[in-house]
Amino acid sequence: MPIGETAALLAALSISLTSVCYTLAGRKINAITSIALSLPIAWVLLIGLHRLLLGAWIPPGLSLERAFYLGASGVLAFIISSYCMLIAFQHIGPRLASVILSFTPVLVAILAWALLGESLPTDSAIGIVIVILGIIMVVAEPRSGKAAAHRGDFRRGVLLACLGTLMQSVAFLFASQGVKGGFAPISATLVRITAATLTLWLFLAARKRIGALVQIVRGDLALMRLLTGAAVSGPVIGGLLLLFSFQFVPVGVSTTLSHTSSIMLIPISYLVFRERITARAVVGSVVSIVGIALLFL
């Protein structure tokens, strides 16, 4: 398989592992704590890579306007969207949450058409309908037994996953404005991570929660390994592989392949969480990916 496509698929696998790490960590600590502890790890790795690849600690060409767009994008994506998705993981599992999150590129296209005046061809509109149908197939699947007894948790999880998807989509719109003019993708990622880390830690400092975070770091090495895995596999390895793939294949191809994480999570969810996987869930996930392909290709 060509190198660009391979990189995009490896990015999808890396993102899948991030979901698993956060889900397991969420059984021990709440969502805000998970995010607060993993963001600095990602920041340290990214700033080191930034220095290695671009020879600078501070992103070159960073204007105030660019910093605003990228900073807002980072807060929306890495704090608000991540918070919603991490709670959704606990209620509906990472597989179903990822299927809903696969609606992100569709929502970005719709928002860009409505707010930025970008075109939305007929093929893209058909792709949007197909993605929606695929998600409905998975989300509306009848639930029985123990799962049906927790219907309230299921609905809350779906709602939070939808809200997280909306925040992620708006974050992408802000990021698209921030990278205009050839701004280096790794610099953009560093600015987004920096803004999110500073915002969240200042918020926690104001609420006098820093001491509790330090105690967690000292007292639970197994938990820190999970959070390190989430930080490394998500914004660092997954993000860089995706950026790498952009150099070899069109963005649409790379985006489509990277969203196969919802399919990769099917066997992972069965092996790790013993989740019951139905044929309808598999078909719905595949249909969503086909719709994303039509949207971009």
Q: pTM for the whole thing?
A: 0.84
Q: Name the one residue in this structure whose structure tokens are 């919802």.
A: 262
Q: Do residues 216 and 37 make contact, with C-beta atoms less than 8 angstroms apart? A: yes
pLDDT digits (tens, 9 = 90+) for 229-279: 999 988 888 888 877 776 677 665 666 777 788 788 888 888 888 877 788
Helices (H), the chain: 3-25, 31-54, 64-75, 82-101, 104-115, 122-139, 146-149, 151-178, 185-206, 210-219, 221-231, 239-246, 251-258, 261-273, 279-296
DSSP 250: -
Cα 279 to chain centroid, rounded = 25
Question: What pLDDT does 253 receive?
Answer: 66
In this prediction, residues 275-284 reach a mean pLDDT of 81
Q: 40 Cβ partners below 8 Å, 6+ apart?
A: 197, 201
Is 221 exposed, middle or buried (CB count within 10 Å of its CB: 0-12, 13-18, 19+)? Answer: exposed
Cα–Cα distance for residue pair 210/164, rounded to 1 Å? 25
pLDDT grade for 203, boundaries at 50, 70 and 90: very high
Three-state DSSP state, 58: coil
pLDDT grade for 8, boundaries at 50, 70 and 90: confident
Cα–Cα distance for residue pair 23/264, rounded to 1 Å? 16
Q: Do residues 191 and 71 make contact, with C-beta atoms less than 8 angstroms apart? A: yes
189 pLDDT above the threshold of 50 = yes
Q: Name the one residue in this structure whose structure tokens are 């990472």.
A: 94
150 pLDDT above the threshold of 60 = no
280 pLDDT above the threshold of 70 = yes
DSSP 63: -
Question: What pLDDT does 213 receive?
Answer: 85
148 pLDDT above the threshold of 50 = no
Question: Would you kindly state where each structural domain of the chain is located, as residue ranges?
Answer: 3-296
Least confident of 95-99, 120-124, 172-176: 120-124
pLDDT grade for 149, boundaries at 50, 70 and 90: very low
User: CA dist 77 to 34, 82, 168, 174, Å?
Assistant: 15, 6, 5, 10
pLDDT digits (tens, 9 = 90+) for 35-61: 999 999 999 999 999 999 999 999 998
